[in-house]
Homo-oligomer: A and B are copies of this chain.
Amino acid sequence: MSQDPEDVAVLPPPRRPGATSADVARLAGVSRSTVSHILNGQVTRFAEETVGRVRDAAARLGYVPSAAGRSLVLGRSDLVVLAVPNTTLTNVQDIIEAIAADLDDLGYSVVVHFDRGGGAAANLARLQHVVDTLRPAGIVDLGSLSLRDLDTLEEQGCPILSPRPRHVRGVDEGNLAIARTQAEHLIDRGYTALAYAFLVDHRDDPFGRMRAAVVADVCAEAGLPAPTAISVPLDAAGAQTALCDLLRARGRPVGIACSNDEVGLAVSFAALALRAAVPGDVGVIGVGGGSVGQLVAPRLSTITFDVRASVGTIRRGVAAARGGVAEDDDPTLSPEIFLVLQGETT
C-alpha cells in the first residue's frame, strides 16, 4: 500500500494472476463501477471513448470476472447441473457433450451429477445439497428425477431447463417413457405376446423392475396378456438358454423389450443361433442407440435420446429462465419429443 498506484498501472501483469475489475479500472482511469457496467453491456450510457478504453484495458490484462464474486452478489452461479440417470444409455456421452457444448456457448459450465445406489431419496438429497451449495443457474434432467422432485427444486428457485417428461400413466419417472416407447413399438409391429429382458447380474437396479412394470401397463391397456420377465446373461450360451426357455413358455412370435442394447444384441444373436427369424419369430428392441447395434445384421431397433431436440429444448429453457427468447429458436423442435427410434429392423 506504500507503493505508488501509478507503478501498478505502469506494470500491468499481462497474464500472471487473475486481474480484478479494480485493476482494469485503474488501468483505464475510471471507477470500478464503470468497468462493471461497461463489461456487462451497459454500453449506451457511456461515452464511446470510455467504452473503448475499458475494453482495451480488460483485454490487455486478460481480465476474466471471478465466478465466485459474481455468484455471491447475484445469488446464483453460472453453473448448470446435469442430472444423469443410472441407466445404460450408450450415447449418454454424446448427450452430455452436446449439452455441455451448447451451454458453453451460452457462458455456462456444466456440473455433472450422477445417480448412485442408495435409492431415489438419497439421490435427491445429494442433488439438493449440490443445489444449495452451488446455487446453479438451472438443472437439466436426463430422466433421473420424478415430477415431484422437479417441482420441489423449481420451488426453491432453481429453474428446470429440460422439458417435463412425457407423462406416463401410473408412474412419474421421466425415463420410464423409454419402456412405454419400447412396448408400443413392439405392439405396433404386430407382436401380441411381450417379454421384458433384464440384464442378469447387473448392479442393483430398481429401474429395470419399474420399466418392466410400465411394459406390463401398456400390455394391459392394449388388452394383451402380461409380459414375461427373463434374465439374460451376456454370453452366447446363456442367452440362448434364456431365450429358449422363453420361446418354450410363450411360443412364437414374441416381442422382447430389453433393458439395454447389449441385452438386445445378446437376444438377437441367440435367436439367430436358434434359427428363429428376427424380426418375425422374435422382435427385439434395446435401449441406448449404440453404434454397434447398427453395425450388425439385422440392425438392432433401439431407443435413444434425440440429442438435437434435447439441446434445442434446453437452449429454450435457458432463454426462458433468463427472461428472453432464444435467438435461434427452432420452433420445429417439440419439447415433448425426446426419445427417438433407431434402426427399426428387429
Task: Give chain A's interface residues, CB within 8 Å of chain B.
Answer: 18, 62, 64-69, 71-72, 77-79, 84, 90, 92-93, 96-97, 100-101, 104, 109-114, 116, 126, 129-130, 132-135, 234-236, 261-262, 265-266, 269, 290-297
Whether B114 and A111, one on each chain, are in contact in the complex, defined by CB atoms closer than 8 angstroms, is no
Inter-chain CA distance A294–B236, complex, in Å, is 10
Give the distance in Å from the alpha carbon of A129 to the alpha carbon of B97 in the complex. Answer: 18
User: How long is the Cα–Cα vector from A109 to B111 in the complex, in angstroms?
Assistant: 7
A237 shortest CB reach to chain B, Å: 10
Report yes or no: B295 in contact with A265, Cβ–Cβ below 8 A. Answer: yes
Nearest residue (CB) in B for A105 is: B116
For A109, give its contact among B69, B130, B265 (CB under 8 Å).
B130
Nearest-CB distance from A95 to chain B (Å)?
10
In the bound assembly, the distance between CA atoms of A126 and B64 in angstroms comes to 12
The distance in angstroms between the C-alpha atoms of A62 and B129, with both chains bound, is 10
Most chain B beta-carbon contacts within 10 A, residue among A90, A114, A293, A297: A114
Residues from chain B with a CB closer than 8 A to the CB of A97 are 84, 114
Chain B nearest Cβ from A299, distance in angstroms: 10
Docked CA distance A269–B79 (Å)? 44
Complex: chain B residue closest to A19, CB-CB = B132
B116 touches A101 (CB 8 A): yes
- Would you call B295 and A234 a contact (CB within 8 A)? yes
Would A236 and B297 be within 8 Å (CB), given that A111-B111, A292-B262 are in contact?
A: yes
CA of A291 to CA of B84 in the docked complex: distance in angstroms?
20
Cβ contact of A93, chosen from B62, B92, B292, B297, cutoff 8 A: B92
16 sample A-B contacts, Cβ–Cβ < 8 Å, listed by A number: A64-B129, A64-B133, A66-B135, A69-B72, A79-B111, A96-B96, A100-B112, A100-B114, A104-B126, A109-B113, A110-B111, A110-B112, A234-B294, A262-B291, A269-B296, A290-B292
